[in-house]
Amino acid sequence: MKAPLEWSGGKAWLGGIRVDEIASACGTPLYLYDQSTLLGQLRRLRQALPEAIEIYYSVKANPNRKIIGIFVEHGCGCEIASGGEYVLARRAGAAPEKIVFAGPGKGREELEHVIAHGIGEIHLESFDEMALAESVAGRAGKKVSVALRFNPSTASGGGLLMGGQPTAFGFEEESLAEVVAALRRSPHLRLRGVHLYTGTQILDAAALVAHWRRALAIARQTAELGSEPISTIDLGGGLGIPYFAHEKELDLEALSAGAKDIVSDARSDRRLENARFVVEPGRFLAGPAGLYVARVRSVKSCRGTTFVVLDGGMNHNLAASGNLGQVVRRDYPIVNLSRRDDGEATVVVVGPLCTPIDTLGRKVTMPMPQTGDLIAILQSGAYGMTASPLEFLSHPTPAEVLVRTGKYEVIRAQETRFGRGREVVEQNESSLISTEVSYE
């Protein structure tokens, strides 16, 4: 997977623009997103998958409205996990029927909101949630399309397992008959499909195909128990990208072959012959397009180890620090954007926070940084700022910048908090579920 950066004159360029010029204009730290890489990832996946498999962007990976809008504009639906993400998806142009709502703890207020404004499917994950959805739909006088999320008895391998073991996600596969029977007793809920999602950051195509086959088998069982044919088989997400030196890219050719077989198998079954398939990538689409860029504040030596201290750290990119669920902490690809041919040194890259866990790179080899250099963490387009503790120590919030060929757009301005502390009033769009929104 080729990084979006190019080099000329010893400087890093992105989309035909020098990165240091963007950093000077927009301030550091900042996130840069390359639009051509976003669309390139979508194109690669679209070409690999059969037409019967629809692509729904997982908004949680990067909820910036401009990023969502790029994928919506190019034919994607949206998978959301909160009412706030519903608002963002709608504002980005997603049609309500092209949104599916997953997550193990949906609240009454957000269910009322999405049912009132329209939703493609709500994915139910517990009997309590089924009862709540029935209550809300009944009060609204609407018949709501739902899918059942199942936790299969075995899970595919991935960076973070979400099935095949006791988890909060989905109904146990063993209770399938009981779940379908309960749903059939819910007059305002219409069973449309099934949803499986057992792991994230999966780089093994065979594991993904095996998971998708399991989804097909559970869809068959559900169709046998239900009163209507299954119309949606949601295969989940989990498509990984390589972060670390030992990792290889997901084999899209092998994934393509397996996906075609699964679709063909479904078409031979009258109960599933008209079902659509959905896949929900987020990391795969957005991750490779993003860089987290910070400036060196100091370079210091301590007991034989060289530390490079940046103006941003785990408060902006928690995943790169290894504190977002990783069991083994390895280094993301990290590069010095300011110099390329000045000899190499092995350094520890840290942020400005007063905690030892604010370490972004533990053993990074790069041209020896100097104060003022720009350092970039690659593969940061997904689960970067959105998954980070931005409030910790009240440092400035990074700008987000979308780069197109020859131009760039600030899609979220840097918020400086110096001198204002906790009195800052944030404009956090993800909290707008209770706000009246017009979609005209």
Cα pseudo-dihedral 176, 179, 180, 182, rounded to 10: 160
Residue 354: Cβ within 10 Å count: 7
Based on the fold, state whether residues 148 and 175 are members of the same structural domain. Answer: yes
426 located within any domain? no
Alpha-carbon distances, residue 148 vs 138, 151, 158, 254 (angstroms): 19, 10, 22, 28
Contact 144, 189 (CB under 8 A): yes
- Chain-centroid distance of CA 229 in Å reads 31
Q: Which residues contact 175 (CB under 8 A, 6 or more apart)?
A: none
| DSSP for 288-327, written as a single string | GGEEEEEEEEEEEEETTEEEEEES--TTT-TGGGT-SS-S
Based on the fold, state whether residues 202 and 307 are members of the same structural domain. Answer: no
Based on the fold, state whether residues 173 and 72 are members of the same structural domain. Answer: yes
Question: Mind listing the pLDDT tens digit of every residue in the chain (440 residues)?
Answer: 567 899 998 889 999 999 999 999 999 999 999 999 999 999 999 999 999 999 999 999 999 999 999 999 999 999 999 999 999 999 999 999 999 999 999 999 999 999 999 999 999 999 999 999 999 999 999 999 999 999 987 654 444 444 446 688 889 999 999 999 999 999 999 999 999 987 788 999 999 999 999 999 999 999 999 777 899 999 999 999 999 888 999 999 999 999 999 999 999 998 898 999 999 999 999 999 999 999 999 999 999 999 999 999 999 999 999 887 664 568 999 999 999 877 899 999 999 999 999 999 999 999 999 999 999 999 999 999 999 999 999 999 999 999 998 999 999 999 886 644 333 334 444 444 443 433 33
Based on the fold, state whether residues 263 and 375 are members of the same structural domain. Answer: no
428 located within any domain? no
Query: Which among 281, 302, 329 is the end of a domain?
Result: 281
Per residue in 315-331, pLDDT tens?
A: 999 999 988 766 456 89
Based on the fold, state whether residues 317 and 301 are members of the same structural domain. Answer: yes
Based on the fold, state whether residues 16 and 163 are members of the same structural domain. Answer: no
**What per-residue confidence (pLDDT) applies to 161?**
47
Based on the fold, state whether residues 186 and 314 are members of the same structural domain. Answer: no
Based on the fold, state whether residues 153 and 213 are members of the same structural domain. Answer: yes
**What per-residue confidence (pLDDT) applies to 162?**
47
Based on the fold, state whether residues 242 and 175 are members of the same structural domain. Answer: yes
Based on the fold, state whether residues 220 and 98 are members of the same structural domain. Answer: yes
Based on the fold, state whether residues 249 and 330 are members of the same structural domain. Answer: no
Based on the fold, state whether residues 277 and 134 are members of the same structural domain. Answer: yes
Print the domain residue range for 321. 5-32+288-418
434 located within any domain? no
**What per-residue confidence (pLDDT) applies to 154?**
65
The tally of domains found in the chain comes to 2
Q: What is the CATH number of the domain that holds 12?
A: 2.40.37.10
48 located within any domain? no
55 located within any domain? no
**What per-residue confidence (pLDDT) applies to 417?**
67
**What per-residue confidence (pLDDT) applies to 342?**
74
Phi and psi, residue 144, nearest 5°? -110, 135
45 located within any domain? no
Alpha-carbon distances, residue 7 vs 76, 312, 343, 359, 368 (angstroms): 32, 24, 16, 27, 17
Q: What is the CATH number of the domain that holds 255?
A: 3.20.20.10
Q: Is 419 left (phi over 0), alpha (psi -120 to 50) or beta?
A: left
Q: Is 175 left (phi over 0), alpha (psi -120 to 50) or beta?
A: alpha
243 located within any domain? yes
Query: Which among 230, 264, 281 is the end of a domain?
Result: 281
366 located within any domain? yes
Query: Which among 249, 266, 281 is the end of a domain?
Result: 281
**What per-residue confidence (pLDDT) applies to 424?**
36
**What per-residue confidence (pLDDT) applies to 246?**
86
* pTM, 2 dp: 0.91
Q: How far apart are the first and last CA of the chain?
A: 40
